[in-house]
Structure 1
Amino acid sequence: MASGTSTLDLRDIFSTANIRQLAAPILIVMVLAMMVLPLPPFLLDLLFTFNLAVAVMVLLVGMYTRKPLDFSAFPTVLLMTTLLRLSLNVASTRVVLLEGHTGPDAAGKVIDAFGHFLVGGNTAVGIIVFIILTVINFVVITKGAGRIAEVGARFTLDAMPGKQMAIDADLNAGLIDDKEAKRRRSEIAQEADFYGAMDGASKFVRGDAVAGILIMVINVFGGLIVGIVQHDLTAAEAGKVYTLLAIGDGLVAQLPALVISVAAGMVVSRVGDEQDVGGQVVSQVFTNPKVMLLTAGILGLLGLIPGMPNFVFLLMAGVFGWGAWKLSQKAMADAAAAESFAAPSPTAPTESNEASWADVTPVDVLGLEVGYRLIPMVDKGQDGELLRRIRGLRKKFAQDVGFLAAPVHIRDNLELRPNSYRITLKGVEIGTGDAYPGMFLAINPGRVSGPLPGNQTRDPAFGLPAIWIEAGLREQAHAMGYTVVDASTVVATHLNHVIVGHSAELLGRHETQALLDHIAKDSPKLVEDLVPKLMPLHVLQRVLQYLLEEGVNIRDMRTIIETLAEQATRTQDPMDLAARVRTALGRAIVQQMFPGGAELQVMALDPTLERVLLQAVQSGGGEGVLEPNLADNLMREAAGASQRQEDLGLPAVLLVPNQLRWLLARFLRRAVPNLRVLANSEVPESRNIRVTAIIGGKN
């Protein structure tokens, strides 16, 4: 049993997973050992070759990496390869100074090859090559890669809040689940950590380049001292032997360092994740026949200049020209294949086509149909003024009401009269009128000094008496007190009036969800706590529709959501919730009716009528059923009082108890559309109230 247990333990220790876990500690121990223990020349050759192989592998992995996080271990690899090179420098320096006097291969064949073969045994050339490689590595590649990593880390950190909010929005909308959200958050954090680590790791590479220069200088001067003092060599002999060994040692360390730096630059400068570096370069640089042809032409012109290497330039021009011709041939073949694929097969025509879902066309939420004489007003090619006005109206609607309405789909309709237009909501006509391009509509606000010649009509938006006049009468109409607008303004004003009046119908489920997504970008927790935890989306939609039906904008969604989150545990009735939201929005509602700090001059109910209505509400279970005579008298008196208020230049506002507000608002909405019903609880305590008319009393 004991032997079996020990065998099992050894198997566990030497398993593949454990070997991978032990690889990094073993490598660090070896690196530290190389700095203090003497190494034979053959082992130095193996380690230098291994260092060069690792550098090439890292470069190839960096080239085939599609996105930086695919090589997230790269900062650690940079540190470990830097330590490996430095430890090899220390080990080779020890061998060079101890055994350099015995010959050029005293520190191994690799250093000897780099010192003699690569630089031809010339010390001056070797020093210059070494300095050039070090400058390229230190000043150009490493500095650039470090700067890219630094900027990438900063911008990644700056973009993290926005990315997190986008993930939360997708999660709240149900587009992703919890696991996908956690994966995306983890990926964002890893990306920031990666660029930060790369920024720090690049400093190791730059320090390695500086250390390489110092180590070479130390090897040269140390070798001169050791060779002359300890081994009785002449200054010339010692300089030649130790300088070549120092140069070979420096080159064999700087070449892998340069390769690693290039790999670092490739990894941090990656843009896009669809292809590797080679695929990106080939697909984006060498696939445009026009670029290749222009390059061939420039090289050909240079090749014709006397004194230039004509053969080389003309040869390269021919290569690029041949490449451009091949690319153009391939593009033509691909286009022909696409056309042949897209062309319908020459089959016999069928007598009738089968119906498909493509025949079912969705109904436009908002539509504007125009007669043929109004087409120039909406034609983009003719710079139609109405198009710009409609874009501005939609933007103003979003700013004033609080949500983005569906776009207006414009098309011509030959069934309409030439100068007529029609506004539709979900395919149903909700407004119509006439407009005359080139003419102006003079609207009578009620205080004009005389009539004007023209076509008598009414303002399609507000129903005021108006006249279509010629352009030459515009100034005269202004002088006589008319409000003069052009044809585009007439249609745009009518469209805006209709859209605002039907804003509750325009707020569909899609618009409500889009509104929540927009708010979640700044306040994700606020939205998450309400929908769908406390309230389904359709209840929130209905509450907002109740507010819009009575002319209350929903711009202050923070207050609306906070109020609903507080009240949702008590009731889910949209009507009750809307009443509570109105109380929370009371200051804004009153401000909309009575701007500034003006006194609230309102109408009120006679106390007797008020008691009768309260009894009707209580007996009707909150709904309220009015007797016909009482309903007629109430409607007639409310209309008369509202008209008198407007004649005085005051808004028609009826102040009632909280229990009656919804009943009277719904009952009087059709008969007195301009009347606004306000509850007592909606009036801020800081505003003064003055009753200007009593409904139901003796006037």
Structure 2
Amino acid sequence: MNQILDSLKMLKLSKLAGPVLIILILAMMVLPLPPVILDIFFTFNIAISVIVLMVGINTRHPLEFSAFPAVLLITTLLRLSLNVASSRVILMEGHTGPAAAGKVIESFAHFLIGENVAIGIIVFIILTIINFMVITKGAGRIAEVSARFTLDAMPGKQMAIDADLNAGLIGEDDARNRRQTITEEANFFGAMDGASKFVRGDAMAGIMIIVINIVGGLIIGMMQHDMPAGEAAKTYTLLTIGDGLVAQIPALIISTAAGIVVARVGTDKDLSEQFIGQLFSNPHVLYITAGVIGLIGLIPNMPHTAFLMIAGSLAALAWWQEKRQQREKLAQAQSSQIATPTALSASGGEQAMTEVSWNDVQPVDMLGLEVGYRLIPLVDRDQDGELLRRIRGIRKKMAQEMGFLVAAVHIRDNLEIRPNAYRILLKGVEVGVGDAYIGQFLAINPGHVSAEVPGTPTTDPTFGLPALWIDAARREEAQSLGYTVVDASTVVATHLSNLLQSHAAELLGREEVQALIDHQAKESPKLIEDLVPKVIAVGILQKVLQQLLSDGLNIRDFRTIIETLADHVPITQDIDELTAAVRTALSRAIVQQLFPGENELPLMSLDPQLENILLQAVQSKAGGGLEPGLAENLLANAAHQTEEVENQGLNPVLLTPPGLRPLLARFLRRALPQLRVISHNEIPDSKTIRIIAVIGAGKG
């Protein structure tokens, strides 16, 4: 109980910290402060500025320090209030000597000015100009540009998130978090742009406060305290410059921190790691620099010791980096070396050949993914392969949407394919192939980009859209121009997800059906015990389920499928008839999948004359085949009408009599996979129909 009370007290205190700090800052502008309190607050101001600088240096992403704009504002107000408080003390008590405004101001003044007031004033003005003209102005400009580009890139980033979500690569929570991050980035840089104006105003105020304090001090010292002009000038200038320096050094530190934070490019390394890793890791660059510095050091009248010492140090560092990189490459080559089997003689030799067994027969994987050696990091657990997590997400999404668990994807490297290529195999047969480049991004043109971006032209392996492989540095630019930008692992994962959905029927084998039955038996044990396999053979159940998957339907309502088959299997064993019965039972789910939330269904239909011809062809029992000329015209007209419906932003669905649905579904599936075929029996009574297109027998 005591711990809970202590936690509540700490929570209340933490909430009060902000308001109390702001009130204290504003109070310092009004209430007079003794020199001892000023020393404490000036020291606190310097400490805060150093903390902010250290946090900025160790920040890996700007959003890790999202409170920085508010911190920038508060520290600026703190410096201004201290300037007001110290100015009051300087003008009131300055005639008593350099220690009138506290030891901190006096120490900083003596440190900078010494015995020469003119030099102190010049140095102080230089520091202020550096802060105002260089650091603060540059940080503000970076924040302004970053805010604009972040806003311009938001649509492309949102499309990339939606693409990952639709492909099953991320969940709803991850997508929500990514969208929130994008919004926070735009808000952060926008706030930094505005907060930078406070720092610039603070620098200008510092110069004006110095002038006012010096002029005011001279007037007060000579007229009110009868001080000689020289003594008054020296005393008040010393105090004013010390006061300004105590304020401007923290301001300079804070401005530097602001520049570091907004200039950071988001990586997993802090500034020190980036600085050392990118400046001093290339031996070739270090050797050249050492040579140039050494040649300059040999020029007569140059400080030979300094130049030659630096040149020698750079050369030694280059030699050390070169040796270290050679050792790393050797270790990597040894770890990736593949042992080759020793050649054996069939007629006898030093080693006896093992007997051939069934272990030498390699089973065919249901699903396989082969990658070139340059793509191995995507699937290597030791290198935290991103593609492995994405594949698990794809299988999870397939299980949730389709209603059965897809077989595991067996991944292996293949040295016979191109280094950046990958192959997707179904039962040992290649069904998809593409290329991916680690470290680069695929910029897909959805058809409405505002300008082109430099890159290597290619084609999106999943949807066949024109695309470009671009460098990571051009990612933000491509997104702002309207491209959908994805990384290498997303390219492979999206391709795999699309192929799994299009081949769902082939992925449902006897083993998957039995696993589905066992899973349903846990929830409905009596149902499965009475019907499978006593009434419904597993083979018939598998074929019906495959038919449903081929038609683009899910099998999540497994209980309804089992109960419907139990009613119709004693009557017929025809798979088409059984599938039609199941589809009728699932009519509400089918319509909901095709037209979510709609009461009036926009459908395509067959011309009555064509419908009669097709019904005669089916009833003739001549294999259900179509006359070649009729089939060609039907396909052309269906393609034309499907395109017209899609241009209206509608889902192309063809309504047919029950007897024609299986024939037309199989006939149109390969050429027009986007066109779904349903029968009159699959329309619920609560729905109305609106015919939007008619497919005839004439040419489309």
TM-score norm. by structure 1 comes to: 0.56
Aligned match of 1:625 in 619, 630, 633?
Answer: 619
Alpha carbons of 1:187 and 1:42: their partners in 2 closer, same or farther (altered >3 Å)? same
What residue is the counterpart of 1:115 in the other structure? 109
Distance 1:214 1:111 in 2: 18
What residue is the counterpart of 1:297 in the other structure? 291
Instruction: Tell me, yes or no, if structure 1 residue 572 matches structure 2 residue 560.
Output: no
Aligned match of 1:31 in 25, 33, 41?
Answer: 25
What residue is the counterpart of 1:319 in the other structure? 313
Greater displacement, 37-46 / 278-287: 37-46
Distance 1:185 1:221 in 2: 55
Q: How does 1:506-655 map to 2 (within 5 A)?
A: 510-511=498-499, 542=551, 570=588, 572=590, 584=603, 610=612, 624-626=618-620
What residue is the counterpart of 2:153 in the other structure? 159
Alpha carbons of 1:543 and 1:229: their partners in 2 closer, same or farther (altered >3 Å)? same
Mapped contact 1:604–1:691 kept (Cα < 8 A): no
Distance 1:104 1:90 in 2: 18
How far did residue 242 of structure 1 move? 0.8
Distance 1:251 1:33 in 2: 22
Distance 2:28 2:110 in 1: 25
Mapped contact 1:138–1:206 kept (Cα < 8 A): yes
Aligned match of 1:288 in 270, 282, 293?
Answer: 282
What residue is the counterpart of 2:199 in the other structure? 205
How far did residue 217 of structure 1 move? 0.8
How far did residue 78 of structure 1 move? 0.7
What residue is the counterpart of 2:99 in the other structure? 105
Distance 1:308 1:94 in 2: 52
What residue is the counterpart of 2:173 in the other structure? 179
Alpha carbons of 1:103 and 1:347: their partners in 2 closer, same or farther (altered >3 Å)? farther
Alpha carbons of 1:358 and 1:42: their partners in 2 closer, same or farther (altered >3 Å)? farther
Mapped contact 2:154–2:182 kept (Cα < 8 A): yes
Which secondary structure state, in structure 2, belongs to the residue aligned with residue 232 of structure 1? coil
1:592-648 Cα shifts (integer Å, max 9, x gaps): xxxxxxxxxx9967xxx959x86x79xxxxxx53266xx99x97xx569999x9xxx
Q: How does 1:455-470 map to 2 (within 5 A)?
A: none
What residue is the counterpart of 2:40 in the other structure? 46
How far did residue 683 of structure 1 move? 9.2
Distance 1:81 1:277 in 2: 23
How far did residue 130 of structure 1 move? 1.2
What residue is the counterpart of 1:129 in the other structure? 123
Mapped contact 2:365–2:428 kept (Cα < 8 A): no
Instruction: Tell me, yes or no, if structure 1 residue 139 matches structure 2 residue 139.
Output: no
How far did residue 183 of structure 1 move? 2.5
1:212-236 Cα shifts (integer Å, max 9, x gaps): 1111111111111111111111222
Alpha carbons of 1:137 and 1:296: their partners in 2 closer, same or farther (altered >3 Å)? same
Greater displacement, 63-72 / 110-119: 110-119
Alpha carbons of 1:143 and 1:661: their partners in 2 closer, same or farther (altered >3 Å)? farther
1:79-119 Cα shifts (integer Å, max 9, x gaps): 11111100110011011111111111111111112211223
What residue is the counterpart of 2:66 in the other structure? 72
How far did residue 241 of structure 1 move? 1.1
Alpha carbons of 1:327 and 1:627: their partners in 2 closer, same or farther (altered >3 Å)? closer
Mapped contact 2:139–2:196 kept (Cα < 8 A): yes
Alpha carbons of 1:285 and 1:108: their partners in 2 closer, same or farther (altered >3 Å)? same
Alpha carbons of 1:19 and 1:508: their partners in 2 closer, same or farther (altered >3 Å)? closer
**AA in 2 matched with 1:308:** M
Distance 2:547 2:638 in 1: 32
1:543-583 Cα shifts (integer Å, max 9, x gaps): 69xxxxxxxxxxxxxxxxxxxxxxx9657399999xxx998
Mapped contact 1:603–1:652 kept (Cα < 8 A): no
**AA in 1 matched with 2:270:** D
Alpha carbons of 1:313 and 1:514: their partners in 2 closer, same or farther (altered >3 Å)? farther
Which secondary structure state, in structure 2, belongs to the residue aligned with residue 105 of structure 1? helix
Q: How does 1:159-308 map to 2 (within 5 A)?
A: 159-308=153-302
Alpha carbons of 1:334 and 1:238: their partners in 2 closer, same or farther (altered >3 Å)? same
Distance 1:332 1:691 in 2: 72
**AA in 1 matched with 2:498:** H
1:384-423 Cα shifts (integer Å, max 9, x gaps): xxxxxxxxxxxxxxxxxxxxxxxxxxx99xxxxxxxxxxx
1:134-169 Cα shifts (integer Å, max 9, x gaps): 111111111111111122222222233333343334
Alpha carbons of 1:347 and 1:31: their partners in 2 closer, same or farther (altered >3 Å)? same
What residue is the counterpart of 1:554 in the other structure? none
**AA in 2 matched with 1:133:** L
Distance 2:333 2:429 in 1: 42
Alpha carbons of 1:20 and 1:428: their partners in 2 closer, same or farther (altered >3 Å)? closer
**Percentage identity across aligned positions?**
49
What residue is the counterpart of 2:10 in the other structure? 16
Which secondary structure state, in structure 1, belongs to the residue aligned with residue 264 of structure 2? coil
Which secondary structure state, in structure 2, belongs to the residue aligned with residue 36 of structure 1? coil
Aligned match of 2:89 in 82, 95, 99?
Answer: 95
Mapped contact 2:144–2:189 kept (Cα < 8 A): yes
**AA in 2 matched with 1:235:** A
Which secondary structure state, in structure 1, belongs to the residue aligned with residue 290 of structure 2? helix
Instruction: Tell me, yes or no, if structure 1 residue 329 matches structure 2 residue 323.
Output: yes
Greater displacement, 343-352 / 154-163: 343-352
Alpha carbons of 1:357 and 1:217: their partners in 2 closer, same or farther (altered >3 Å)? farther
Alpha carbons of 1:141 and 1:665: their partners in 2 closer, same or farther (altered >3 Å)? same
Mapped contact 1:292–1:320 kept (Cα < 8 A): yes
Which secondary structure state, in structure 2, belongs to the residue aligned with residue 118 of structure 1? helix
Stretches of structure 2 that go unaligned for 5 or more consecutive residues are 344-350, 370-414, 417-424, 432-463, 465-494, 504-544, 554-585, 642-654, 672-676, 680-689
Mapped contact 2:297–2:304 kept (Cα < 8 A): yes
How far did residue 174 of structure 1 move? 3.3
Q: How does 1:426-505 map to 2 (within 5 A)?
A: none
Stretches of structure 1 that go unaligned for 5 or more consecutive residues are 366-410, 413-423, 431-495, 497-506, 516-535, 545-567, 590-601, 618-623, 693-699
Alpha carbons of 1:232 and 1:311: their partners in 2 closer, same or farther (altered >3 Å)? same
Distance 1:576 1:54 in 2: 60
Which secondary structure state, in structure 2, belongs to the residue aligned with residue 51 of structure 1? helix
**AA in 2 matched with 1:36:** V
**AA in 2 matched with 1:144:** G
Mapped contact 1:44–1:92 kept (Cα < 8 A): yes
How far did residue 295 of structure 1 move? 0.8
How far did residue 190 of structure 1 move? 2.1
Alpha carbons of 1:626 and 1:280: their partners in 2 closer, same or farther (altered >3 Å)? same
Distance 1:87 1:537 in 2: 76
Alpha carbons of 1:97 and 1:179: their partners in 2 closer, same or farther (altered >3 Å)? same
How far did residue 46 of structure 1 move? 1.4
Distance 2:139 2:55 in 1: 17
> Max radius of gyration: which structure?
1
Alpha carbons of 1:61 and 1:356: their partners in 2 closer, same or farther (altered >3 Å)? farther
Which secondary structure state, in structure 2, belongs to the residue aligned with residue 117 of structure 1? helix
How many matched pairs? 471
What residue is the counterpart of 1:548 in the other structure? none
Distance 1:356 1:144 in 2: 68
Distance 1:138 1:347 in 2: 71
Mapped contact 1:96–1:242 kept (Cα < 8 A): yes
Distance 1:316 1:135 in 2: 31
Mapped contact 2:135–2:259 kept (Cα < 8 A): yes
Distance 2:199 2:110 in 1: 27
Mapped contact 2:66–2:188 kept (Cα < 8 A): yes
